[in-house]
């Protein structure tokens, strides 16, 4: 070094002790000239806080994940945290060893171990489905926030309100005069599908309308099944006045099934979707759909985490954020007559 003790350099770097202008300038000059950078590892080791949080995602290629990460990053940046990303890559892993689908507990353990070893101040776990996790993040003595899923045991979570938004959307459609509804759900046993259906049924019940069970079918979340299911729904005498698909991909399937049968949207049959996905961005007429608060989930997850890191907030919270209904022309503006 050039002239002073390591302690002095540390003081200059952190402004943690009064330093004479002369020495400070000298030190700063040397730092600039040598391109010195302090070793965060050593610093964290000494201070016992890393200002690092771990983001453990089930699969980064699932469309909502990057949006949530982006939300986390915005708050993290503002709060002076950095993020270390672990990608479990469940999509490809499940595909390549389908014989033991839920055997990724050990993958989680390994990653959590690694994150804990990196001395992260906390972990945010981002799921690929909105569901309860039977797998658990072993207790590492640091707060954990689950996002787009929730834990069976302890831990906070941030989710969006599947049920409420479908209750609202259904209410809106009822107000427009629609009475004969068809619903295309997701996979059998899917939690978000069940919640959305629950919101739908609640609105219908309050309106005193019976929904025949043959009007509520599953569409496997994908275009092809969505289209086939819509075909079944529409190819009969008293076909529904409106079909509510539980995601946009299936809604696109409904569009194509309707076209095939010579039915016009929204004149002959109205359609709604869910997700506000790219796939339905430019179909015509514009699809009425639901936008999930993805970025906002990231914000809240990170905020909750830092609150818990600093002990200001208790654990085991469950934040549920509202969704937004996106208007469109796939439903009659003037309502159903």
Partner DNA sequence: GTGAAAGCGCTAACAG
Partner DNA sequence: CTGTTAGCGCTTTCAC
Residues within the interface to DNA (CB under 7 A): 3-11, 13-14, 16-20, 22-24, 37-39, 42-43, 45-48
Does residue 23 touch its own copies according to CB under 8 A?
no
Nearer to DNA, 26 or 232 (CB): 26
Binder of its own copies out of 4, 13, 19, 116 (CB under 8 A): 116
Whole-number minimum distance, CB 11 to DNA, in Å?
Answer: 6
Region 263-322 residues binding its own copies, contact defined as CB under 8 A:
277-279, 281-282, 284
Q: Cβ–Cβ contacts within 10 Å for residue 312, how many?
A: 8
284, 251 contact by CB (below 8 A)? no
* Region of 60-68, 205-213, 237-245, 324-332 interacting with its own copies (CB under 8 A): 60-68
* Region of 10-18, 111-119, 151-159, 188-196 interacting with its own copies (CB under 8 A): 111-119
Q: Is residue 317 classed exposed, middle or buried when 0-12, 13-18 and 19+ CB atoms within 10 A define those classes?
A: middle
* Region of 14-22, 52-60, 176-184, 235-243 interacting with its own copies (CB under 8 A): 52-60
Q: What does the DSSP assignment read for 158-227? A: EEE-HHHHHHHHHHHHHHTT--SEEEEE-STT-HHHHHHHHHHHHHHHHTT----GGGEEE-TTSHHHHH
Q: Which does 290 bind (CB under 5 to 8 A by kind): its own copies, DNA, none?
A: none
Q: Which does 282 bind (CB under 5 to 8 A by kind): its own copies, DNA, none?
A: its own copies
Q: Positive or negative CA dihedral for 54, 56, 60, 62?
A: negative
The answer, yes or no, to whether the previous bond of 266 is cis (omega within 30 of 0) is yes
Whole-number minimum distance, CB 51 to DNA, in Å?
Answer: 12
Does residue 194 touch its own copies according to CB under 8 A?
no
Q: Which does 132 bind (CB under 5 to 8 A by kind): DNA, its own copies, none?
A: none
- Pick the closest to residue 200 from 277, 186, 221, 279 (CA basis): 186
Whole-number minimum distance, CB 30 to DNA, in Å?
Answer: 12
* Contacts of the segment 140-143: beta carbons below 8 A, 24+ positions apart: 140/112, 140/115, 140/116, 142/116, 142/309, 143/305, 143/308, 143/309, 143/315
Looking up tokens 């943690």 gives 16
CA 226 to centroid of chain Cα atoms: 23
Does residue 256 touch its own copies according to CB under 8 A?
yes
Nearer to DNA, 39 or 102 (CB): 39
Parallel, antiparallel, or unpaired for β 144-147 and 132-133?
unpaired
Whole-number minimum distance, CB 295 to its own copies, in Å?
Answer: 9
Looking up tokens 């275009």 gives 223
Which residues are at the interface with its own copies (CB under 8 A)? 35, 37-42, 44-45, 50, 52, 55, 59-61, 63, 65-67, 69-70, 73-74, 77, 82-87, 89, 92, 113-114, 116-119, 138, 140, 223, 249, 252-253, 256, 277-279, 281-282, 284
């Amino acid at each position: 070094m050039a002239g002073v003790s390591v302690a002095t350099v540390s003081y200059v770097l952190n402004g943690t002790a009064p330093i004479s202008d002369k020495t400070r300038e000298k030190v700063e000059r040397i730092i600039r000239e040598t391109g010195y950078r302090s070793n965060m590892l050593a610093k964290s080791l000494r201070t016992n806080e890393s200002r690092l949080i771990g983001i453990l995602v089930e699969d980064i290629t699932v469309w909502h994940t990057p949006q949530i990460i982006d939300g986390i990053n915005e708050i993290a940046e503002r709060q002076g945290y950095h993020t270390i990303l672990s990608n479990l890559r469940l999509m490809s892993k499940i595909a390549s060893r389908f014989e033991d689908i839920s055997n990724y507990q050990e993958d989680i353990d390994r990653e959590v171990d690694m994150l804990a070893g990196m001395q992260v101040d906390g972990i945010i776990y981002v799921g690929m489905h909105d569901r309860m996790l039977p797998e658990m993040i072993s207790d590492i003595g640091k707060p954990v926030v689950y996002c787009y899923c929730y834990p069976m045991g302890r831990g906070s979570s941030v989710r969006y309100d599947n049920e409420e938004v479908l209750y609202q959307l259904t209410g809106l459609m009822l107000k427009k005069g629609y009475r004969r509804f068809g619903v295309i759900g997701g996979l059998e046993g899917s939690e978000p599908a069940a919640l959305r259906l629950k919101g739908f049924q609640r609105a219908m019940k309050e309106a005193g309308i019976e929904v025949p069970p043959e009007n509520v079918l599953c569409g496997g979340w994908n275009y092809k099944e969505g289209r086939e299911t819509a075909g079944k729904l529409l190819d009969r005498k008293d076909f529904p006045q409106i079909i509510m698909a539980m995601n946009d991909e299936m809604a696109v399937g409904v569009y194509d099934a309707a076209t095939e049968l010579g039915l016009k949207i929204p004149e002959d049959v109205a359609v709604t979707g869910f997700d506000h996905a790219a796939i339905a961005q430019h179909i015509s007429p514009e699809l009425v759909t639901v936008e999930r608060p993805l970025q906002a989930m990231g914000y809240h997850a990170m905020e909750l985490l830092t609150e818990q890191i600093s002990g200001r907030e208790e654990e085991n919270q469950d934040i549920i954020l509202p969704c937004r209904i996106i208007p469109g022309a796939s439903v009659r503006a003037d309502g159903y007559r």
